[in-house]
Amino acid sequence: MHTSNSEIQMPQPRRRRGRYSNDFKRQVIAACLEPGVSTAAVALANGLNANLARRWVVEASRRNTVRRSKTPTMLAPIATNPAFLPVKFDPQPPVPVTQTDIRIELQHTSTRVCIYRPLQASSQCAQWLREVLA
């Protein structure tokens, strides 16, 4: 028989906050401020949450305790070559189109019907098309 006094209650695990020394924080901040270094990569390499490392950097910059590197930042060169290369071709004059027929092409699912009529029968062709599409 279980009573409320005999039940075992498991302690709830508490979230523990990490305590980091000021020296460790300074090293992480300095590593984050190196040119070309990702704050998230530094955080992951040191077992930290990236948001925490970012907060340390922001707080340090507000206190003006951040020492930036004395060496100038070298930016990666930007490619000056165009992304697309021009294509050279010999333009040929357009072929003159002489249309002597009317072509009507109808497609429904996998069925395709092509109808050719002489250009002179355009009015009858238009009437037929109205009837088909009605």
Which pTM value belongs to this model? 0.39
Relative orientation angle of helices 22-32 and 50-62, to the nearest 10 degrees? 90
Measure CA 55 to chain center: 26
- 111 versus 1: the higher-pLDDT residue is 111
3-class SS of residue 122 = helix
CB 118 within 8 A of CB 100: yes
The arithmetic mean of pLDDT across residues 7-27, rounded, is: 77
The predicted pLDDT at position 92 comes to 77
Q: Euclidean distance between the first and final Cα of the chain, in Å?
A: 83
Would residue 58 be called left, alpha or beta, if left means φ above 0 and alpha means ψ between -120 and 50 degrees? Answer: alpha
pLDDT digits (tens, 9 = 90+) for 87-110: 787 777 776 766 778 888 888 888
Q: How far is CA 118 from CA 8, 60, 95, 122, in A?
A: 96, 84, 21, 7
The arithmetic mean of pLDDT across residues 99-126, rounded, is: 85
pLDDT digits (tens, 9 = 90+) for 51-77: 999 999 999 888 875 555 555 555 566
Using a 10 angstrom Cβ sphere, with 0-12 exposed, 13-18 middle and 19 or more buried, the burial of residue 43 is buried
Report residue 79's pLDDT band, with 50, 70 and 90 as the boundaries: low
